[in-house]
């Protein structure tokens, strides 16, 4: 659906001649929502007007994020050539090389957090981008949304592979990937959450969620003339 631009029904029809698959009802609902979001994105790119939905409240977003939680793996592919993971993978150079990672976003950079930086990857062909963010609801992550989104977008446009991480690969890194999908892939916040949660349970803290919510409102606001 994402990479081959198929509708959900088309994707099912493509797979079933080779294997009978049966996603559970929760997964099917998430796939239906992804199908709608991708179609809305295609409409935007074609300039076809569509009905816009209001940005959900913070309480609704928290319910969406924290319902049906599952354990997180060290890393997951959440969008074509875009990974989210934890500190252990960020320090595991053989795994990064095996994945073909060319760009790294450290959402927990800094001397008292995950102090890797360009020097840590000097023996690898990796481009590094650090964000010194604290995983605290009062930390203002919003100023980093667009710079990190542009870094990720530039890497992917050059056929690179991007690994975005924080300590656990849940809050800070999740928020930055959501902002990338909203800014560069024109997904709404809800659409971005659904797209990522198909592969990984992320959980930006309430402060980051509110900042993402404000970004969603701004991106969906009519352009001033």
Asked if residue 62 lies in contact with residue 224, where contact means CB atoms within 8 angstroms, the answer is no
Distance CA 181, CA 60 (A): 20
Among the options 3, 22, 166, 184, which is catalytic?
A: 166
| Start-to-end C-alpha separation, the chain | 35
Asked if residue 90 lies in contact with residue 164, where contact means CB atoms within 8 angstroms, the answer is no
List Cβ<8 Å contacts ≥24 apart for 49-54. Answer: 52/220, 53/188, 53/190
Distance CA 79, CA 54 (A): 25
The answer for residues whose C-beta is within 8 angstroms of residue 144's C-beta and 6 or more apart is 131, 133, 176
List the one residue out of 20, 99, 28, 26 whose CA is nearest residue 8.
28
Asked if residue 82 lies in contact with residue 152, where contact means CB atoms within 8 angstroms, the answer is yes
The answer to whether residue 166 is catalytic is yes
Catalytic residues: 166
């Amino acid at each position: 659906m994402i990479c081959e631009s198929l509708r959900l029904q088309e994707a099912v029809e493509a797979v079933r001649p080779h294997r009978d698959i049966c996603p559970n009802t929760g997964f099917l609902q998430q796939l239906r929502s992804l199908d709608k979001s991708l179609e809305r994105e295609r409409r935007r790119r074609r300039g076809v007007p569509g009905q816009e939905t209001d940005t959900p409240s913070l309480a609704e977003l928290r319910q969406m994020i924290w319902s049906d939680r599952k354990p997180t793996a060290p890393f997951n592919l959440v969008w074509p050539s875009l990974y989210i993971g934890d500190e252990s993978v960020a320090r595991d150079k053989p795994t990064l090389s095996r994945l073909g990672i060319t760009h790294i976003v450290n959402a927990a950079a800094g001397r008292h957090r995950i102090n890797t930086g360009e020097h840590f990857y000097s023996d690898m062909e990796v481009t590094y981008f650090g964000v010194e963010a604290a995983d605290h609801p009062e930390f203002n992550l919003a100023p980093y949304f667009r710079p990190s989104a542009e870094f990720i977008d530039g890497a992917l446009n050059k056929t690179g592979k991007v690994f975005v991480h924080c300590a656990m690969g849940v809050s800070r890194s999740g928020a930055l990937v959501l902002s990338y999908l909203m800014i560069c892939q024109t997904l709404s916040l809800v659409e971005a959450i659904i797209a990522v949660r198909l592969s990984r349970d992320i959980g930006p803290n309430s402060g980051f969620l509110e900042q993402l919510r404000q970004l969603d409102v701004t991106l969906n606001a009519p352009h001033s003339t």
